[in-house]
A and B are shown apart, each in its own frame.
Chain A
């Protein structure tokens, strides 16, 4: 435990975040964009937990932040999937290039 530097946790977290960001930029499907978003949220959770362990280990604040982030991510996914299924009913596709009815 003491042999892993804090920097390795943070580099892991930032690598995971930017992999998620790459997926969010390149994917054109709503479900895959949602999955990339989950990767980014997990990266943030890892950095919160690492900071809690290394710098602030007498309290549990980072763990509670991660817990609330997980809860809100679940809520966000439920709403997003309801919206995606509605979009599919209207457009017969969940490709965001086809959803351009609001475009000027």
Chain B
């Protein structure tokens, strides 16, 4: 077992442990911190298969942006030290059964159609190539989704301001 596959198994087991802690912890703030660690592990996996730009974006947007937003929302809406309520037993067992059944179904299908594909040549994910594909207007180009995402981000900027501005204070 070489170093890379060792790192893969360490990172993925830590990722699964942190993900389970995210969905099972009863302290909301701790849950957000576990989510931050899980996203860091995902960034490590991207580094491992040499998608450096994607890993940097994961660190910048998820760990630097979304986690901070979630922590601000927790600080604005929760009173400190308050535990989350436990799920009802029936609901808990039904959703556990559904999730485990779904996981085994997917794993069964994967093991049935196991592909022996190996990464023949490593992906050329340097910045120049990414920029070339991102602004390419012919085949394999992504300039149209890029522009659409720009419009979407503008709409989100305006929309979140409009939603959080409360013009008329009618309490329900």
Contacts of B160 in A (CB 8 A): 78-79, 81-82
Contacts of A63 in B (CB 8 A): 51, 53-54, 123, 125, 130
Cβ–Cβ contact B77 & A39, under 8 A: no
Cβ–Cβ contact A57 & B123, under 8 A: yes
Cβ–Cβ contact A32 & B31, under 8 A: yes
Cβ–Cβ contact B35 & A60, under 8 A: no
Query: Total contacts A to B, CB within 8 angstroms?
Result: 223
Contacts of B32 in A (CB 8 A): 31, 35
Name the interface residues of B47-82: CB closer than 8 Å to any CB of A.
Answer: 49, 51, 53-54, 57-58, 61-62, 65-66, 69-70, 72-74, 76-78
Name the interface residues of B82-106: CB closer than 8 Å to any CB of A.
Answer: 84-85, 87, 91-92, 94-96, 98-100, 102-103, 106
Cβ–Cβ contact A25 & B95, under 8 A: yes
Contact with B along A31-67 (1 / 0, CB 8 A): 1101110110010011001101111011111011011
Cβ–Cβ contact A77 & B110, under 8 A: no
Cβ–Cβ contact A1 & B49, under 8 A: yes
Question: Which one of B2, B35, B92 lies within 8 Å of A26 (CB-CB)?
Answer: B92
Contacts of A8 in B (CB 8 A): 8, 12
Cβ–Cβ contact B95 & A31, under 8 A: no
Tell whether A81 pairs with B149 under 8 Å between CB atoms, given A1-B4, A31-B28, A54-B118.
no
Cβ–Cβ contact B156 & A18, under 8 A: no
Contacts of A60 in B (CB 8 A): 123-125, 129-130, 133
User: Does B37 sit within 8 A of A, measured CB to CB?
Assistant: no
Closest 6 CB pairs of A and B: A23-B23, A25-B95, A22-B99, A26-B87, A75-B156, A82-B163
17 contacts between A and B (CB under 8 A): A3-B4, A7-B115, A14-B107, A20-B23, A31-B28, A31-B70, A39-B35, A49-B46, A52-B123, A60-B123, A66-B54, A70-B54, A77-B66, A81-B70, A84-B73, A86-B166, A90-B172
Task: Report B's interface with A, CB cutoff 8 A.
Answer: 1-2, 4-5, 8, 12, 15-16, 19-20, 22-24, 28, 31-32, 35, 38-39, 42, 45-46, 49, 51, 53-54, 57-58, 61-62, 65-66, 69-70, 72-74, 76-78, 84-85, 87, 91-92, 94-96, 98-100, 102-103, 106-107, 110-111, 114-125, 129-130, 133-134, 140, 142, 145, 149, 152-153, 156, 159-160, 163-164, 166, 171-172
